[in-house]
Structure 1
Amino acid sequence: MRFRRAGDVMTADTVRAGPSTPVADVVRSLAERGIGGVPVVDEDDKVLGVVTRSDLTRRGGGTGRSGRPGVAGGPGTAGPTAGELMSVPAVTVRAVDSIALTGRTMAARDIGRLPVVDEEARLIGIITRRDLLRVFVRPDSDLRDEILDEIVVRALWLDPAPLTVAVVDGVVTLRGRLAREADVSVAAGMAARVDGVVAVVNELTGRRARASG
């Protein structure tokens, strides 16, 4: 079975800036796109840092009358650049990283969006907490269908007829008797890894293999 990765749910249409991009342009991008930050990349699209609304406010920015981030400086003054205000080093995730790892990284760093990079560390997208929520907040019926089809039938090659899979608010309850006791823990473990599953109540039983000799 296939579990979703950061690259599966990221937004590929990514606003980005270069180190020399005027912060005024960054502010404009944040306001127009309604986003909280932009990655700063070099000529090879490798992520150097990130400029967020907090960076703009904390490092000589401020907010205008609309409450949007502003940039200090008046007419005729050279404003700061993205490279001067960006936070470094940038926290990124790889496109092949799991959704669970991506969520843990966001939680540990208390950030709401992460640049997604390829195997050569080049920027290919952005993933946000909202993207993760779309994965984890799934209808119970979808979870049940995926467990039955992808795990029970396709992965373990089991007959689903003697099994009951119930899902309520993301909590999966497995009931029934399997032909092999060894499959009991395997089925429960695989169900727990399905994106959107909160917990698994394992009430499966299985027949013990007869000792030879």
Structure 2
Amino acid sequence: MAAQPFTVSDVMTRKVVAVRGGADFKEIVAAMRKRAVSAVPVVEGEGRVVGVVSEADLLRKEEFHDHGLGLQEQLRRLEATAKAGSHTADELMTSPAVTVGPEASLPQAARLMAAHRVKRLPVVDERGTLQGVVSRVDLLRVFLRSDDELAAEIRQGIVERWFPLSRHQVDVRVEDGVVTLSGDVRDASLIPLATRLARAVEGVVDVRSELRAGA
């Protein structure tokens, strides 16, 4: 059997800093600096996520610090100017927060980040309670899997499953995440499938197929 796909819970950071809605500007900056993060979740009650404050939200104050705006520009940039005059997390935050569940796949999390142009996502359970945070760096962690680990997964989950009669003639080599499949197989029609499945293994950088039809 192939290994189960990695989920957000496998790579997320569980020790996270969050702030309450009443946290003031300097408290938020201090929290970000403490964890060296670019955004923090805003929580209420027993940890339910209600929003996110990012560096971009905080920088509104600096952007308009010495720059007076005319009425037309104030109206055009209403949200930005409102945040420039805000002092607490519940005024500064983007709400509702874009969140992801712990069982979501890594591609799903990556698509969410891309669609909403964010670098990190709060991870919440079915009640919306904060469980952790997943960042772009976390999603890339699967590429740190060893070559031996990748080779073993491909051999067990792909070669032995799809080429049971030819498995001893198939060689699986992995170098720096690049997989090379070579050897003779009885059913050549399965070669494209094996290549596609190997490329889908998390942590694989690329696949080179040298498989060919054999006796």
TM-score range, shorter chain: 0.7 to 0.9
**Alignment map for 1:55-204 (pairs within 5 Å):** 55-58=57-60, 60=61, 80-153=87-160, 155-156=161-162, 158=164, 160-181=167-188, 183-204=190-211
Provide the rounded CA distance (Å) in 2 between the counterparts of 1:91 and 1:172.
Answer: 35
1:117-174 deviations in whole A, cap 9, x for unaligned? 2233322110112212221244433322321234334x54736421012234433222
**Residues 171 and 108 of structure 1, relative CA distance in 2, 3 Å threshold:** farther
Deviation of 1:8 (Å) = 0.8
Matched to 2:122, the amino acid is P
Q: CA RMSD in A?
A: 2.8
Contact 1:172 1:199 in 2 (8 A): yes
The gaps in structure 2 that reach 5 residues or longer are: 64-83
Bigger helix share: 2
Q: What pairs with 1:32-51 in structure 2 (closer than 5 Å)? A: 32-51=34-53
Report the equivalent of 2:75. none
* Cα pair 1:183 1:206 within 8 Å, conserved: no
- Cα offset for 1:10? 0.4
CA contact (8 A) 1:135 1:196 kept: yes
- Counterparts of 1:199-210 in structure 2, within 5 Å, are 199-205=206-212
1:76 match: none
- Aligned partners of 2:7, 2:89: CA distance in 1, in Å? 30
What's 2:6 paired with? 4
Partner of 1:68: none
Shift of 1:2: 0.7
State the SS of the aligned residue for 1:93: coil
Structure 2 vs 1, CA of residues 51 and 61 (structure 1 numbering), >3 Å: closer, same or farther? farther
Give TM-score scaled by structure 1 length.
Answer: 0.76
Rounded Cα–Cα distance in structure 2 between residues aligned with 1:183 and 1:123: 44
Secondary structure of the structure 1 residue equivalent to 2:52: strand
- TM-score, with normalisation over the residues of structure 2? 0.76
Please give the secondary structure, in 1, of the residue aligned with 2:33: helix
Query: What corresponds to 1:67 in structure 2?
Result: none
* Cα separation, 2, equivalents of 1:86 and 1:106: 17
Q: Which residue of 2 aligns with 1:25?
A: 27
One-letter code of the match for 1:130? V
* Paired residues, number: 193
Query: Structure 1 stretches of 5 or more lacking a match?
Result: 63-71, 74-78, 209-213
CA–CA distance in structure 2, aligned partners of residues 85 and 182 of structure 1 = 57
Aligned mates of 1:92, 1:8 — CA distance in 2: 16
Q: Which secondary structure state, in structure 2, belongs to the residue aligned with residue 177 of structure 1?
A: strand
Question: Are residues 12 and 96 of structure 1, via their aligned partners in 2, closer, same or farther at CA, if it must alter by over 3 Å?
Answer: same
